[in-house]
A and B are shown apart, each in its own frame.
Chain A
Amino acid sequence: MTQQMTREVALWIYERMCLIRNLEERVVDGVMKGKIPGFAHVYAGEEAIAAGACAQLTERDYITSTHRGHGHCISKGVDVKKMAAELYGKATGACKGKGGSMHIADIDKGMLGANGIVGAGGPIACGSALSAKTRMTDQVTVCFFGDGAAEQGTMHESMNFASILKLPLVFVCEHNVYGEATPASYHCSVGDICARGAAYNIPGVKIDGTDAFAVYEAVGEAVARAREGKGPSLIEAKAFRYYGHYVGDPATYMTKEEIDGYRATDPIDKFRARLLRDGLALAADLEKIDARVLETLEEALAYAESSPWPAPQEVLGDVYAVYNRQRR
């Protein structure tokens, strides 16, 4: 069953992909210039996965994310201004400056958090899927995880757990070739991680993760299956990351030829060309979106830069147990 992508969806995906790419390029710049503190892992090169997958979800559906989570946040509707302010560590950030790049979340939008622990999203996704099943809603959870996370015990536990309980869950493996600096050809026991679906008795499919159409279609089928109560699926989206593991990673393990090769099949260029070819968009539509993306980002970064730092007493807020006598 192939689902036709409408013009509206196509333009939505295009805008998300452009927003992600532009934000990530500015994050790289901001970290290198010392404006953005801490660790940042950028998603450039993988935009088609988050945008294509989230185009199949409603605001009520859930996602769990990874340390490379900016693309998931944007695709699930987290406010870009609040995201930017969070990256800067400002009081107006999505998490009031207490989370940073690796912990952006917006529960109301179904974004259950970027995550600093590789493979930690799997069990949490089992939880939100179990919650939807128990409450008898039709909400689906998409669990994004990388090829590196595929080797964590948590992911194996989660796929088995979701399979036996027939949870409404779609595991989307974002295969970007490297787990940190170690290639999947070394760290992974199988050539295609989707083959592991067989071990958990769930469908496992491999798709081109740089093709938003392929992502949209495969996730659409898996989401429909999940909504019908038929249980989880595993999708392996093959892609590449344009930068190192983290911003500042010299990435000596990636060759120039390799990067150039992947950049030659850039997901945004490819999507743009197909939209024009298939008549889903006119050049003028896309130019309008390009301009809007730049405007949105200018506004978001200006907001982040001009926002105040959190007040020092904010350190003590939002904890579970309050101690009246500070011991330090």
Chain B
Amino acid sequence: MSERKLTFREAINEALRLEMRRDPRVIVLGEDVAGGANIPHLEEKNDEAFGGPLGVTKGLVTEFGRGRVIDTPISESAIMGAAVGSALTGLRPVAELMFIDFLGVCLDQISNQGGKFRYMFGGKAEVPMVVRTTIGAGLCAAAQHSGSYYSVFTHYPGLKVVVPATPYDAKGLLISAIRDPDPVIFCEHKMLYDVAGTCPEEEYIIPLGAADVKRAGKDVTIVATARMLHFALEAAEELATSGVDAEVVDLRSLSPLDEDAILESVKKTHRIAVVDEDNPRCGLAGDIVAFVAQFAFDDLDAPPVTVTVPHTPVPFSPALEAAYLPDAAKIAAAVRSLF
């Protein structure tokens, strides 16, 4: 494997670029995904275009033009509906929902339209669309730009939900998501964009619904995703110094869910902690714990423990945001309580 390193942001950009080269049906649409439409000096020199406030789609318009990298008005329902309708009629749109918190202004088009068509139309429709969206706190962006509502999308049976933690996984999972025949919600954690990691130049796919053991261990299973995965790995190193050998399972996809990987790990370690940046009520952490309780109860030597944000909106102040978020120390403390 190549030792080339890319940031999480660059890995996503590269996945989009490779798929757009490979398949003319792939388009990118959203607010400022190119930027500068109708502004003469940018129309002429597209390489200077904005590429989104977070810069993830930068440069795509230079290579693929404004016919395939489409700036839209700030109309999230129209954007998501345009993705649904174009996916239904032969394209493979990648639509951007700038922040997952904006789901409230377009959820109907995602969950009630695109997410239900295949089932509701008796299996005769496919909606191969991807919604790229950002999740997570850490930028003091406050309550309306810092949420992690992947559990909301996972709750809808018609959607696939992907939550990558590393540049390598982000690239391979996004390529899979674009090639998938069904709607995929692709969640990018804002605090991971500048994290670098090994990422080969060539195209490769990581199947949706395959978890990855990021650290093997025998004493306890820590399940985590996205930024929490990195905190879990830190916690595992800290726990190792006190003789606790933690296994860290990165779910990568929340829907489909790699149930076998969770059970396999728990049957080995007999203890489980689930880390989740989404709110705890009716959410991911509770779901995984319920699953383990239902299917591996007799394998457990201790009650499962969860490490989540509190059931509040995300606060603004750095002091409050830090108190809100799980971190390595909180995870390590929770894991120690299992012994």
Binding site for B on A (CB under 8 A): 62, 64, 93-99, 103, 105-108, 112-113, 115-117, 120, 122-132, 134-135, 141, 153-154, 157-158, 160-161, 164-165, 317-325, 327
Contact = CB atoms under 8 A, between A and B. Distances in A.
Given A103-B120, A318-B123, A134 B86 contact: yes
Given A120-B81, A123-B109, A321-B209, A98 B87 contact: no
A317 B123 contact: yes
B67 interface: yes
B121 A107 contact: yes
B67 A134 contact: yes
23 contacts: A95-B122, A105-B124, A105-B125, A107-B89, A108-B124, A123-B78, A127-B84, A127-B89, A129-B85, A131-B90, A132-B89, A135-B25, A154-B109, A160-B73, A318-B122, A319-B118, A320-B115, A323-B257, A323-B259, A324-B259, A325-B291, A325-B294, A327-B294
Contacts of B157: 319-321
Given A98-B122, A117-B112, A157-B73, A123 B82 contact: yes
A107 B113 contact: no
Given A113-B117, A154-B81, A161 B75 contact: yes
A117 B113 contact: yes
Contacts of A164: 73
Interface in B116-144: 117-125
A135 B91 contact: yes
A161 B82 contact: yes
A127 B87 contact: yes
A325 B118 CA distance: 22
Interface of B: 25, 27, 29, 67-68, 70, 72-73, 75, 77-91, 93, 108-109, 112-113, 115, 117-125, 157-160, 182-183, 209, 255-257, 259, 290-291, 294-295
Contacts of A94: 121-122
Contacts of B83: 127
Contacts of B124: 95, 105-108
Given A124-B113, A126-B78, A131 B89 contact: yes
A327 B294 CA distance: 9
Contact of A135 (B73, B82, B90, B108): B90
Contacts of B255: 320-321
Contact of B82 (A98, A126, A327): A126
Contacts of A154: 77-78, 81, 108-109
A314 to B, nearest CB: 9
Contact of B78 (A108, A157, A318): A157
Enumerate the 6 nearest inter-chain pairs by beta-carbon distance, A residue then B residue, closest first. Answer: A123-B81, A127-B85, A96-B122, A95-B122, A157-B75, A318-B123
Contacts of B115: 320
B327 to A, nearest CB: 31
A326 to B, nearest CB: 11
Given A134-B91, A157-B75, A327-B291, A112 B120 contact: no
Contacts of A132: 89
B79, B81, B87 — most chain A CB neighbours (10 Å):
B81
Contacts of B75: 157, 160-161
Contacts of A160: 73, 75, 78
B49 to A, nearest CB: 17
Nearest to B68: A134
A98 B294 CA distance: 30
Given A112-B88, A131-B86, A134-B67, A161 B121 contact: no
A112 B89 contact: yes
A324 B25 CA distance: 33
A320 B72 contact: no
A158 B81 contact: yes
A161 B209 CA distance: 35
A132 B255 CA distance: 31
Given A157-B75, A321-B157, A126 B85 contact: yes
Contacts of B257: 321, 323
A132 B27 CA distance: 13
